[in-house]
Amino acid sequence: MKSLKQFIIENVNIYRLTEVIATYLVQPSEIILQAPETYDESDIQIYMDDLWLNDLPSSDKLSKKIFGINGKSITDAHFEYDTFEHTNIEPKEYIEWDAKYDYSSSNNEDVKLEYFVIKNLKYIISFDMFDLQDVNDDNVQQKLEEIFKSAESNNYNKYPIEIIFHKDSLEYKK
């Protein structure tokens, strides 16, 4: 007679992947942020992380809900983009500066604000491993696409920015 543990192990088909990277495209493709004129590209990257990362699928509060046990395997989440431009011309639409993320500017009324244009912003989540159940070599890609697509922005998933899963950039090792 088999032990309960042995029975469970034999009947659960776990398929482990490593080095899984999921990329989401941020919409619209051009984001304009308002920030202090003294900010450089590095400061804007930090500001975007502060503004959005804690409310996206990789965050501590959402990762388990969205990715289950795989949420614990997230090793990195960050933004990448194609171009960065600093301008002092006020656009019609932009994301207003939130001074709570910068102590030095929140207490300084003389801070001059300008605009930073980010084109083709991508949100990237990396997992060191990712476990799937009841899959085989033929349907691993399809199952991963279903999981990551379910995390994109929709009527159920409300994030501070709109993210759309980019299935063509999905990476993993079997």
Say which amino acid occupies 158.
K
Residue 143 lies in a domain: yes
In a domain, 9, yes or no: no
Quick one: pLDDT at residue 12?
A: 65
- Calculate the CA 149 to chain-centre distance: 12
- Is the residue at 153 inside a domain? yes
Residues of the chain with pLDDT under 50: none
Cα–Cα distances (Å) from 34 to 76, 115, 117, 136, in that order, read 26, 5, 9, 48
Q: Which pLDDT does position 102 carry in this prediction?
A: 80
Q: What is the pTM of this model?
A: 0.88
Provide CB contacts within 8 A for 2, sequence distance 6+.
Answer: 10
Q: Is residue 34 part of a domain?
A: yes
Domain containing 58 equals 14-173
- Which pLDDT score is estimated for 107? 60
Domain membership flag for residue 1: no
| Residue 6: inside a domain | no
Please write down the long-range contacts of 39-43, taking CB distance under 8 Å and 24 or more positions apart.
39/116, 41/84
Domain count, the chain: 1
Whole-number pLDDT of residue 137: 86
Half-sphere exposure of 110 (CA within 13 A, CB side): 0
pLDDT at position 130 is 97
Domain contains 2:
no
Answer whether residue 96 is part of any domain: yes
